[in-house]
Amino acid sequence: MRPVIITANWKMNTTPADAGPLAADIAKATDVANVTRIICPPYTNIAAVSAAVEGTGVLVGAQNVHAEAKGAYTGEISASMLKGLVPWCIVGHSERRRDQFESDELVGQKVVQLVEAGISPMMCCGEQLEEREAGAALATVQAQVKASLETVLAAGNGLPSDLVIAYEPVWAIGTGKTATGADAAEMANAIRATVADLAGAEYAESVPILYGGSVTADSFGEFIAEPSIDGALIGGAGLKPDQMTVIAAIAAEAAAARAAA
């Protein structure tokens, strides 16, 4: 059975001074059973957050990693630098695809680096509004996932057993608009079909798929009600303990219902 996962992506918010107290508040507010809880602060606040959530069961993730193992890349962070600091790392977020021009293949190389370091990859994908309006959403996202995972496969070690895929329609991120639960579920099924083509149905069934894009306490229930969706990647609401309380409670209910089914 796939885990139910809620991940807060703090993006470029919080400071070393306030990240720890906020993480402690969120850990306390989300203290539910059978839900994997992950907080992804900026690199500079990983230490403070890790200290604050110690013993709470909350896991810490980075928001990005470099595609190369080491070298002359001023200001960048490699997977080996994150090793031992975080069990999780987001790759391929649409804000990085937009601002740093990250390609699907580069995202795949980042997954390879994380696998080598023993860090679990949370790989993002998602279509632009024009692509959805043109009826090309499924094909676009399937092509992203295929290209990234083919890059991972080309490294020769198969696909990682701890891969998580986050489907985040770009038009829904930070806009207050969400996909419908049905559209997100249709996409999750399409993503799993692509993964199954590459690595078999059994592996595809084991990969958790999260929805992201303006998830709040009000909207989360619609997504986790879909059997193909295993949780959420949460931006804005992930900085708000009161929002995360409700999201965690709904996630715990879903996890219990799935375990009983």
Which segment (98-106, 196-204, 219-227, 231-239) binds ligand PGA by CB under 6 A?
231-239
Indicate the DSSP class of residue 3.
P
CA distances from 175 to 116, 123, 171, 246 (A): 35, 21, 7, 20
Q: Is 168 designated active site?
A: yes
Q: Does 236 contact ligand PGA by CB under 6 A? A: yes
Q: By C-beta, is 199 or 239 nearer to ligand PGA?
A: 239
**Choice from 23, 26, 35, 234 touching ligand PGA (CB under 6 A):** 234
Instruction: Work out how close the CB of 57 gets to ligand PGA at its nearest, in angstroms, rounded to a whole number.
Output: 22
Shortest distance in whole angstroms from residue 248 CB to ligand PGA: 15
Rounded to the nearest whole angstrom, what is the least distance from the CB of residue 72 to ligand PGA in the complex? 30
Contacts with ligand PGA in 27-86 (CB under 6 A)? none
Q: Is 93 a catalytic residue?
A: yes
| Helix spans in 200-236 (H) | 201-206, 220-224
Residue window 175-214: x/- pattern of binding to ligand PGA, with contact defined by CB under 6 A: -------------------------------------xxx
Residue 191: closest CA among 128, 139, 122, 132: 139
User: Which candidate, 116, 111, 132, 252, places its Cα nearest to that of 190?
Assistant: 132
222: Cβ–Cβ under 8 A, 6 or more apart, which residues?
Answer: 178, 180, 181
Q: Are 61 and 89 in contact (CB under 8 A)?
A: yes
Length of the chain as a residue count: 261
What single-letter DSSP state applies at residue 89? E
Residue whose CB is less far from ligand PGA, 195 or 223: 223
Residues that bind ligand PGA (CB under 6 A): 9, 168, 173-174, 212-215, 233-237
